Structure 1
Amino acid sequence: MQTREPAGGARPTSKDVARAAGVSQATVSLVLGDKWRGRVSERTADLVRQAARDLGYRPNLAARSLRLGRTRTALLVVPALTNEFFARVYAGAARVAALHDFGVVLYPSPEGVGPARDPFASARAALDGVIASSMAAQALDAIRGTDLPLVMLDSDPADPGAAAQVNLDIADGMRQVTRHLLGLGHRRFVHLASAVPSWTFEVRARVLASALSGVPGASLSTFAAPLSVSGGREAAERALAAAGPRPTALVCDDDILAAGACKAVRRLGLRVPEDISVSGFDDLALATAVEPELTTVRLPAERVGEAGMSALLAVLSGRSPDADDLPVTLIPRSSTAPPPP
């Protein structure tokens, strides 16, 4: 799609966006007002958003009737920026926010997970709303209880304090992993489980155990690990040194743990995947940087950020946000194969 700058360097209008995207002004209004679902196709919505970005379009705030907030600022609370996934979540949230003249203040918990101080003297006065990952839930203690709307990402649907939620279909992702490994013939499983207490990791453990419970001959052991390469390596070494038949499949809660698991397998003189298959979760850049490349579940991190910001805008304007879980996809690569005979 090619876009044309407005004549004379004037500020671009919705008409300019409509012309560049090849749609009507009404369609532009629906998409940029986040009211397009069920009325406009995903492809058309993407075209409109891309045209708006290319032209540098900003809505005419005086003409809008949305009951948006006071400061036009949202706080995004994440565990840490050392994890690529959350950097991509921020990129998605900031992209949608910019289309609505909102800013996104990024606040990583200083310790990665756990309590964090209120980043403002008064969050209520400085913000219109909060978007937060469930992995940083403890960092919200200073904000919960205010009248700020809270959008939770990848969190327990039963959370009574959330005005809206954006969830990935984590359960389906773990079912896809399990079906893949069972289909290859694996029956002796180890779960390298994140030691971070979080709803998203609880779901992974619960679904994996449930999927294997009715399979004849299947066994499952669980070893907790900190979310680091060294944590994954040490947990995998413990799992492979445990008494009993050696497991043939290591199912890891994320790609970082999986990278550590691959190191452990090699240090013990074994091979991935000829002796042991390893799977991850997230599809970070790391998944294709290691050798062999990781079989993993792709999570649409930027889409999570986009949906989180859209949900907050919906709440602020009195609308009901989209409640559908975002789909995830298994990406089979060379770290999984049939077990040894």
Structure 2
Amino acid sequence: MSLDDKAVKPHDRLAKALADDMAAVDVLIGERMASENAPRIPEVTAHLVGAGGKRLRPMLTVAAARLCGYEGTFHHNLAAAVEFIHTATLLHDDVVDESRQRRGRPTANLLWDNKSSVLVGDYLFARSFQLMTDTQNLRVLSILSNASAIITEGEVLQLSAAEDMKTSEETYYKVIRGKTAALFSASTEAGAVLSGAPETQVEALRDYGEALGIAFQVVDDLLDYLSDAATMGKNVGDDFRERKLTLPVIKAIAKADEEGRAFWKRVIEKGDQREGDLEHALELMQANGALEETRAAALGWADRGRARLAELPGSELRDMLDDLADYVVARLR
């Protein structure tokens, strides 16, 4: 989901508050994505890293560490590692999904090729583990390495659930907990652990990150049907054309009558999509309340995250993270 809305942007306020830290993170990213022997690695990485992303996940790591009183510099390593994990997954995802656009620009697999995208993604995963081990904190290494495994599990589960009309909401949430929320959660948890925060604060920040990530993905899936290419940075209806069982579709199928189920079976299971089908899908989702229920789910997850955040001591950073959770779902209110 793009956060480039013209409204007030809490992530920009967060970036300003953490500007010195994030400048140091950017330096590390530039150093560690370099390769003397394979110049294509920094070329491919720079194309995606420099595509206008907001560095939200590494900012969460830095913010969590600062919120818990950390005064060292290893949070920069963790933040850079988080950004590399995220970038690697995007490179791999675009190959798997055969995507042609990312953040409003051609994908790396389109500009170069699938092999380059996969191998550069692998390189970034390796670099991320080097950055983690620099901290000499075994628990932090465990958190981020576990998140990397969970992300892959989520992607594989999504493959197995794709185009299957029996996919349940439970399975959907397992998928997005893996593919999206796991890294959000690990980002905030790792920052708190690095700082030596009390376990109650670690757990609160971990849960905040997970809820934020889930809300983030549910909004993304909903806006795929309701937004526009300029806002999303990808083509509207891509999930429909790729026959993905996202929450709006799962809810619509569960509520469909016989005629509706026949439509979903044709366009999702059989892949027989015709002109006007996207518009008809929208009509069905609107008529049976699937879009509104998805909206309510996203708002609920954002509220859940903010409730966990409220358990931490009050501070300007905490208020910014609270505003961020609200902003993720702001366009749905």
- Pair in the same fold by TM > 0.5: no
Query: Max radius of gyration: which structure?
Result: 1
Higher relative contact order (CA closer than 8 Å, sequence separation 6+): 2
Q: Which has the higher helix share?
A: 2
TM range (shorter): under 0.3
Structure in which a larger fraction of residues adopt strand: 1
